[in-house]
Amino acid sequence: METTIDWEALARAATAARSGAYAPYSGFAVGAAVLTDQGVVVPGANVENAVYGLGICAERVAIASAVAQGAKRIQAVAVCTDVEPPARPCGPCLQVIAEFADDIPILLLSTQGMRQLSSARELLPQPFSLPKPS
């Protein structure tokens, strides 16, 4: 199902999600929102932990929430940070995006209003993949 991307709605959802971030260690709050294959916008915020490796990024929270709600694919991602230029998704997040999408658009935005449109393949040109079992 092809869905038109409402970038403003995706940006608003990512920006709003950022306010729910739990980032007491880094102070680096991130909000994300994904557009599912069903046309639903699902937000996520980063959640840190005292054991640093147990934290989870906003993009992966949004994707996991979307999958838990029945999504099989995502069509777009927006990520909101308070730095300029806007921060990009980390490598693990890009790999998770690649699991649920092909070369999709990714909107990077800052709380100051700066926006950059990129793509999954521009940010991670050669994601890891395994052949699907038949």
Burial 62-75 (b: 16+ CB within 10 A, else e): bbeebbeeebebbb
Query: Residue 122 catalytic?
Result: no
Residue pair 30/126 in contact by the 8 Å Cβ criterion = no
Scan for tokens 């959802």, then name that residue.
Answer: 13
- Choosing from 2, 48, 59, 122, which is the catalytic residue? 59
Q: Tell me which amino acid residue 33 is.
A: A
Query: Catalytic residue numbers?
Result: 59
